[in-house]
């Protein structure tokens, strides 16, 4: 049975994205954002009977801190897709009757002592010697804090399709414009295409201003049934379609085509369930740890033909006031990438915020149908 329209996001919360939160713990950030989301949904903690979070934070500890006694808990292990996956899992739990009101929360308080290497290892799911990345890829220089892999992917996209540095830079510039109206975002200064292409290489041809900044923060949403949503104060954000295919590999060199993402499979599944076509989508919130990934995911979703994402950005205003808004809060590249999966979760929160018409100065004009990926 399809879950189309059977569950809805009815509340959300987002903490400001900061480089560090001082001595505050990850559990403390998650507890704060969870309480805010429950309050925003017009619910009490006693109403929450489902909790979903990242695997690196114990669900029992969180529930104890919040005073919640759930009958369903789950932990996400899908890295940047954890936000989208948590909402999918919550929708299935609500639709099946396993839970009534599910709290989804992701975040991290990054230690002030964290080194660049430690932050990068976390971004790539690094671990001990038995980890496939650290044993079979990192020693050969392919991946260094993810920059190596995505630099190679960007170079291949430029070679295959003729995508230019200026076209990649346009993606970063549009998102920075959006971030300037985001009070919770990390970056507050505008940038130009020249700024991007003149910023230093982190791995040729990948520039510094095309990359995310590891930082701290947390996000949360409340998912409930479509029927219960009608009695709550916020306009419901109905979950119409989901698709979740993933790759069968972690290391870059195992990919059949490094310029193709799993979105080429997941987007058609989600659209078919939703009973819409890609041309019906009014705006998008897409995972953007680097410009190259956001752009590949967009073309794999069918926003344009494969290999045409460069000309698409060149000719399209993707800011919140443009003809096809993308990452209207600035995305991870300009609003920041909190750890613990919260970076990717910000796309879910911003999509809900726009549909609820609560985005303030960056509110999109046509904001009823959003495509989100993680």
Q: Record the tokens describing residue 109, joined without a space.
A: 């308080």
pLDDT, tens only, 11-41: 999 999 999 999 999 999 999 999 999 999 9
Q: Record the tokens describing residue 139, joined without a space.
A: 């020693």
Nearest to 174 by CA among 150, 213, 210: 210
Task: Give CA–CA dist 273/155, Å, rounded.
Answer: 35
Question: Which residue spans within the chain are E strands per DSSP?
Answer: 7-14, 50-54, 72-76, 101-108, 201-203, 206-207, 214-215, 217-225, 237-238, 283-285, 337-338, 370-372
pLDDT at 252: 62
Fold of domain 7-112+211-372: Peroxisomal Thiolase; Chain A, domain 1 (3.40.47)
DSSP string, 67-84: T---SEEEEE--GGGHHH
Task: Give CA–CA dist 225/97, Å, rounded.
Answer: 9
Task: Give CA–CA dist 64/343, Å, rounded.
Answer: 25
DSSP string, 113-158: T--HHHHHHHHTT--STTSHHHHHTGGGTS-STTHHHHHHHHHHHH
pLDDT at 122: 43
Cα–Cα distances in Å, from 304 out to 95, 307, 312? Answer: 33, 8, 7
pLDDT, tens only, 78-124: 889 999 999 999 999 999 999 999 999 999 998 876 544 444 444 44
pLDDT at 278: 98
* Spans of the chain below 70 pLDDT: 1, 113-134, 136-138, 140-145, 245-253
Taking the model in full, what pTM does it have? 0.93
8 A C-beta contact, residue 310 and residue 162: yes
Task: Give CA–CA dist 338/228, Å, rounded.
Answer: 31
Name the 3-class secondary structure at 348: helix
Nearest to 104 by CA among 76, 130, 67, 128: 76
């Amino acid at each position: 049975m399809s879950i189309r329209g059977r569950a809805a996001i009815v509340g959300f919360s987002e903490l400001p994205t900061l480089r560090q939160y001082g001595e505050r713990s990850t559990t403390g950030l998650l507890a704060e954002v969870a309480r805010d989301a429950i309050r925003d949904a017009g619910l009490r903690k006693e109403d929450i009977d489902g909790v979903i979070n990242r695997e690196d934070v114990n669900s029992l500890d969180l529930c104890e801190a919040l005073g919640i006694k759930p009958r369903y808990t789950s932990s996400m292990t899908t890295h940047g897709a954890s936000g989208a996956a948590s909402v999918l899992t919550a929708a299935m739990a609500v639709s099946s009757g396993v839970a009534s009101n599910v709290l989804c929360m992701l975040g991290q308080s990054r230690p002030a002592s964290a080194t660049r290497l430690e932050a990068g290892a976390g971004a790539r799911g690094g671990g001990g010697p038995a980890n496939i990345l650290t044993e079979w890829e990192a020693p050969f220089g392919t991946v260094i804090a993810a920059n190596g892999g995505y630099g190679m992917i960007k170079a291949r996209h430029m070679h295959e399709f003729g995508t230019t540095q200026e076209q990649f830079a346009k993606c970063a510039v549009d998102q920075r414009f959006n971030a300037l109206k985001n009070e919770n975002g990390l970056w507050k200064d505008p940038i130009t295409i020249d700024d991007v292409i003149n910023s230093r290489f982190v791995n040729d041809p990948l520039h510094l201003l095309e990359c995310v900044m590891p930082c701290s923060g947390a996000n949360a949403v409340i998912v409930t049934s479509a029927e219960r949503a009608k009695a709550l104060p916020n306009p419901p954000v109905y979950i119409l379609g989901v698709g979740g295919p993933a790759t069968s590999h972690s290391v870059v060199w195992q990919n059949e085509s490094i310029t193709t993402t799993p979105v080429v499979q997941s987007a058609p599944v989600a659209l078919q369930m939703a009973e819409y076509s890609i041309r019906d989508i009014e705006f998008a919130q897409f995972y953007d740890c680097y410009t190259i990934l956001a752009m590949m995911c967009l073309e794999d979703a069918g926003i344009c033909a494969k290999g045409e994402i460069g000309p698409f950005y060149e000719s399209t205003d993707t800011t919140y006031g443009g003809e096809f808004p993308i990452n209207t809060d600035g995305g991870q590249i300009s609003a920041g990438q909190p750890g613990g999966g919260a970076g990717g979760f910000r796309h879910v929160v911003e999509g809900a915020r726009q549909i609820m018409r609560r985005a303030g100065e960056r509110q999109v004009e046509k904001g009823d149908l959003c495509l989100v990926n993680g």
